[in-house]
Amino acid sequence: MRILQRFRCFQRACGLGEVPHLSTFSRAAKWFREQGFPVFHAQLLKDLEVRYPQIVLIDSTALRSSLYDSQAKWGVSTRYHWFKGYKLHLCTTAEGIILSHVLTTANRNDAAVAPELLVSLKQWDIEFVLGDAAYDSEKVRQTAEQSGILFISPINRRNSEERKDAYGRVLPVFLKTRFGQWLFGLRREIERVFNELKSDGLEQPRWYGFHRYVLHVLCCILMHNFEFLL
């Protein structure tokens, strides 16, 4: 609103005779979060001809927010150690197209959020989902199997002493094969996606408010996928 009030030329470029009330922007933001984004996102994936993403990558990244953000939580990340904010969980294709997302507070565990992401992938005929050791969970693998997906993640060191099942015995051997190394090497792509999103302004350490951050994240996801059309 301040930008529209300050720069009248921008207001006219938006086709606005007068600056709308703040409540109007709030209603528009709510509509976009709940109804607009799902439609735009689905149409964009259709335009990108995302039909058979046989290999999908899953991971999360830390998003810091203001220390005064009452809705944010404290969490731990490899880069920031302890931080206050949120986490963006993504599923992408091996080419970097974002298929689904979940934004949570920073204290949510990756493995606890993964089932929600995996359920959203049922519309595609996916063979493999690749995650890091944080996703080494029986519940995650069972959710993937229900959708006909083979979930592959390294054995978490915290669980290594307890692992006597077939998965725990076979996976370390598989990851040492040439195919296993190639397959798991594809995970570098989702790390590149997070780097691109952050370089384009995904993370806003001075912001506060979960819904505000959600709206910003949704716009970043749409713009990221839209670049594949160019």
What is the distance between the alpha carbons of residues 54 and 23, in angstroms, rounded to a whole number? Answer: 44
pLDDT tens per residue across span 163-189: 566 777 788 888 889 999 999 999 999
Across 129-138, average pLDDT? 93
pLDDT score, position 162 = 58
Q: What pLDDT, on a 0 to 100 scale, did the predictor assign at position 160?
A: 59
Dist CA 21 CA 27 (whole Å): 10
Q: What integer is the mean pLDDT of 130-139?
A: 92
Check pLDDT > 70 for residue 161: no
Domain ranges of the chain: 25-152+180-229
Residue 190, pLDDT above cutoff 90: yes
- For residue 1, the model assigns a pLDDT of 57
The pLDDT of residue 171: 84
Q: Give the pLDDT score at 7.
A: 65
pLDDT at site 23? 84
Helix (H) or strand (E) holding 18: none
pTM of the model as a whole: 0.89
- The CATH superfamily of 25-152+180-229 is Ribonuclease H-like superfamily/Ribonuclease H (3.30.420.10)
What pLDDT, on the 0 to 100 scale, is given for residue 9? 72
Query: What's the distance, CA 183 to chain centroid?
Result: 20
82: left (phi over 0), alpha (psi -120 to 50) or beta: beta
Where is pLDDT greater, at 25 or 70? 70
Q: What is the DSSP string of 103-160?
A: EEETTS-HHHHHHHHHHTTTTS---EEE--GGG--HHHHHHHHHTT-EEE-PPPTTTT
Q: pLDDT digits over 90-121, tens only? A: 999 999 999 999 999 999 999 999 999 999 99
